[in-house]
Amino acid sequence: MPRPDADAYDFAAIQEKWLPVWEELELFRAGREGDTRPRKYVLDMFPYPSGDLHMGHAEAFGFGDISARYWRHQGFDVLHPIGWDSFGLPAENAAIKRGADPREWTYSNIAQQKRSFRQYAPSFDWSRELHTSDPEYYKWNQWLFLKLYEQGIAYRKAGQVNWCPNDQTVLANEQVVDGHCERCGAVVTKKALTQWYFRVTDYADRLLDDLNQLEGTWPSKVVSMQRNWIGRSSGADVEFEIEGRDERVTVFTTRPDTLYGATFMVVAVDSPLAAELAAGASTEVQRNFEGYLDSVRAESDIDRLATDRPKTGVFLERYAVNPLNGERLPIWASDYVLADYGHGAIMAVPAHDQRDLDFARAFELPVRVVVDTNAPVTGVIPVIPTDADGNAIEPDDLPPLDPASTGVALTGEGRLINSGPLDGLSKSNAIRRAIEILDERGTGRAAKNFRLRDWLISRQRFWGTPIPIIHCADCGEVPVPESELPVRLPDAAGLDLKPKGTSPLGAAEAWVNVTCPNCGGAAKRDSDTMDTFVDSSWYYLRYLNANDDTRAFDPAEAEKWAPVDQYVGGVEHAILHLLYSRFITKVLFDLGYLRFTEPFTSLLNQGMVLMDGSKMSKSKGNLVEFASELAAHGTDALRVTLAFAGPPEDDIDWADVSPVGSAKFLARAWRIAHDVTSAPEVDWSTGDRALRRASHRLLADAPGLAESYKFNVIVARLMELVNLTRKAIDQGPGPADAAVREAAEVTAMVLDLFAPFTAEDMWQRLGYEPSVALVPWRKADPALLVEDQVTAIVQVDGKVRDRLEVSPKVSGEELERLARDSAAVARAIGEREIVNVIVRAPKLVNIATRG
């Protein structure tokens, strides 16, 4: 039937109608004076203002908004803020290209994205909006830096750092992916520079151990990625005397039990130790060493990362002394030992370490077995292999302990041999005992090492937070006094922002030349800026007092709102941002500003939006544009489509979903509100029972579904309810029935999670004032959740043979009797003997027979 225009669902008109009303009401301002509701903090990872919103934003912010709206409907005062991660390289690159100010590019992008956000209608508290590129924000970034500096957590050191030749800046370890720059993809090289670091390794143990708290509320994938990244290994530091050198050399090993099997020592070719040892050797060795070092330096990181490459190295003609047995160990330099892990030197035990074995075989160095991996170990049940006839294969067929000829290192369990006092001990006992012996002799101790490196935070860029340090020839590093913060960025006008390997800030003469706050002499500002991950490491706290210019945040507000209850964002930050935030949170805890140690109580990673199975990109021509989808289908249909597509953490292929289908569903729901003819005062209890039960089942199930992120299932359940309501109107009790109104109201309340415009319009149509977003969900009536009749299944030998309509309160005996009386069941049993009857009243009877 063609419908008159007044009855047509027009998403554009509904959006136009409600946006100004909502803005006027400021519905989502959190923390109002006198609000006594319990609180929730729901946070989306803040966006980088790259141009306009895209489908990825639509998905992530959609899920965040579902969560925020859900908690409001549960009666919470919800803090759901938004801001902009607005420092960073793209602004600078755009500025270089167009000769403009990065500021201008950034803030006009923000304005554009805000316009799109307005249409998309997430329930943000806009009064707390922040921009990390505002001096009002980065002032506190500098404050944070100074706090870390006071604690010795921020420090400067020289070293070989990751260098992106394209962006002309250094990178943190976390920003190098497979040897490539995480941002631009260029091959990363090494450069010797003095840079600022944060001592994240001091927190490595806590960062690792506290992951246990997040188990279950963070995606297990993220937890395991962080564990891998931190990479703790425990063992011992062992000190070796070096002939012709006063100081001992310390090496880290996870296998101190194999000390008697050490046959040589290897130092990282690019370490200062290698250079020093070579310098003390013959000129020929020095020449070899220099040649080798040059060849290693010429190799890219990519080559170095390749596995299975042959071992290379040079003998330094120097010797170390094994602290346990006094043996002389030749010292080699090689690139398979890393200068910045452990102590840049290792004891090589070729029999029990594959890398050492490969090296030993390449240079014909001795291999000595000290763990008998064929010996049975207590607590390990020996597996006795059998041959084809089932006869046990005799132990003399065990593989020989000969790694030198097999080429396979013996890394398994076993018992120590050829190891003096350790002989006969199992691997783990020998490790313990070896550490004791080292301790007693003062030549070693238990030690831990981490894969995690300190966080390099300096960047040779313009568009970032200036590091608040002044370099004075007489006083050295002098922190800018807190009262002089912020150290503002100079005007970009007149500055050459082109990458040239040093910060563009260094050329801003008037800015960089200052007087030393300490001695008043001539001094220079540090011209580097901070990694933008510093900005985002604590932004969740700034939202609590976004407009307070007297402090970074108020610990009392943190006490009220933080940590974040629900964090939503992409898995691409599994290590980077999330690790840094966890670290800074722990630092602020130690400084007494916070009373919790983990920033994000639970985390949801949304999947990606794909098109035809692959990532969308302009070059592939498979781009689905947010703006055009929004214009074509409207905000609500877009949001419903994304929520309904599947579990939020799964990728969504746009080819598999139907925004048109979502729009149809919304129109159906909306029309129901128009069909309702009863008044809001109608007595629910008079309504159709079957429809009422459906409404109350949804009320009962929706909270559990929402809290386990099963948004797609809630949408499906809404569709089910809408279908049932339609049927009740057309073919059942009719539009005047109280249950129809009740179902329509429940639909509006739950639909608000996904389709706020449609829900609001339904709500008004049903006779209520805005906003449905603030209405607490009703509690399900338990009386409506129990069925009058349930279907019990009767199985014979696990196969369904009959169904019985019974009362939900039926007794086991009664149900069994009914089942035995069934003709279908009797037929299925036939002549066979019944051996067992399992009764699970009221749902099931299973009759097991013999044969």
Partner RNA sequence: GCCCCCAUAGCCCAACCGGCAGAGGCAGGCGGCUUAAACCCGCUCAAGUCUGGGUUCGAAUCCCAGUGGGGGCACCA
Q: Is 98 in the site for RNA (CB under 7 A)?
A: no
Restricted to residues 297-356, the positions that interact with RNA (CB under 7 A) are: 304-305, 307, 309, 311, 335-338, 341-342, 344, 346, 353, 355
Q: How far is the CB of 605 from RNA (least distance, A)?
A: 11
Amino acid at 826: A
217 binds RNA (CB under 7 A): no
Of 151 and 658, nearer to RNA (C-beta) is 658
- Return the range that interacts with RNA (CB under 7 A); candidates 49-57, 278-286, 416-424, 797-805: 797-805
Residues 451-490, mask of contacts with RNA (x by CB under 7 A): x---------------------------------------
For Cα atoms 716, 718, 723, give the angle at the middle one, nearest 5 degrees.
Answer: 95
Q: What is 631-648 written as a DSSP string?
A: HHHHHHHHHHHHHHSS-T
By CB atoms closer than 10 A (0-12, 13-18, 19+), residue 286 is: middle
Among 2, 216, 379, 830, binds RNA (CB under 7 A): 2
Contacting residue, 108, 213, 228, 617, with RNA by CB under 7 A = 228
Burial class (CB in 10 A: 0-12, 13-18, 19+), 26: exposed
Would you count residue 179 as binding RNA (CB under 7 A)?
no
CA distances from 397 to 35, 393, 527, 790 (A): 78, 7, 68, 65
Under DSSP, the state recorded for 262 is: -
Q: Which residues between 651 and 710 bind RNA (CB under 7 A)?
A: 653, 656-658, 660-661, 664-665, 667-668, 710
Helix, strand or coil, per DSSP, at residue 264: strand
- Indicate which single residue of 509, 550, 836, 851 sits in contact with RNA (rule: CB under 7 A): 836
Residue 459 phi/psi, 5-degree rounding, is -135, 140
Cis peptide bond upstream of 2, omega within 30: no
Binding string to RNA for residues 563 to 592, with x set by CB under 7 A, is what?
------------x-----------------
Count CB-CB contacts under 10 A for residue 681.
6
What residues contact 415, with CB distance under 8 A and at least 6 apart?
371, 372, 375, 377, 424, 425, 426, 427
Q: Is 595 in the site for RNA (CB under 7 A)?
A: no
Q: How far is the CB of 698 from RNA (least distance, A)?
A: 10
Helix (H) or strand (E) run with residue 696 in it: helix 689-707
CB of residue 663 to RNA, shortest distance in Å: 7
The binder of RNA chosen from 98, 115, 595, 803 (CB under 7 A): 803
Distance CA 429, CA 413 (A): 11
**How many residues interact with RNA (rule CB under 7 A)?**
77
Q: Which is nearer to RNA, 484 or 787 (CB)?
A: 787
Q: Is 218 in the site for RNA (CB under 7 A)?
A: no
CA dihedral 89, 92, 96, 98 (to 10 degrees): 120
Among 221, 328, 488, 779, binds RNA (CB under 7 A): 221
Q: How far is the CB of 660 from RNA (least distance, A)?
A: 7
**Amino acid at position 185, single letter:** G
Among 75-83, 253-261, 424-432, 626-634, the segment contacting RNA (CB under 7 A): 253-261
Token pair 């299973």 is found at: 846
CB-CB contact of 758 with 15 (8 Å): no
* Residue with smaller CB distance to RNA, 109 or 747: 747
Residue 298 token pair: 């010429």
Backbone angles phi, psi at 446, to 5 degrees: -60, 145
Between residues 645 and 748, which has the closer beta carbon with respect to RNA?
Answer: 645
Q: Which of positions 256-295 make contact with RNA (CB under 7 A)?
A: 268
Closer residue to RNA, CB minimum distance, 40 or 311: 311
Cβ-based nearer residue to RNA, 104 or 701: 701
720 binds RNA (CB under 7 A): yes
**Residue 548 buriedness (CB in 10 A; 0-12 / 13-18 / 19+):** middle
For 229-384, where are the E strands, in sequence order?
A: 232-242, 249-253, 264-268, 314-321, 328-334, 345-348, 371-372
CB of 646 to RNA, least distance (A): 3
Stretch that binds RNA, among 95-103, 249-257, 437-445, 550-558 (CB under 7 A): 249-257
For residue 822, state whether it binds RNA (rule: CB under 7 A): no
Nearest approach in angstroms of CB 42 to RNA is: 22
Q: Which is nearer to RNA, 765 or 843 (CB)?
A: 843
Q: Considering the rule CB under 7 A, would residue 645 count as an interface residue with RNA?
A: yes
Name the minimum Å distance from CB 844 to RNA.
Answer: 5
| Minimum distance from residue 208 beta carbon to RNA (Å) | 13
Can you give the C-alpha Rg of the chain in angstroms?
34
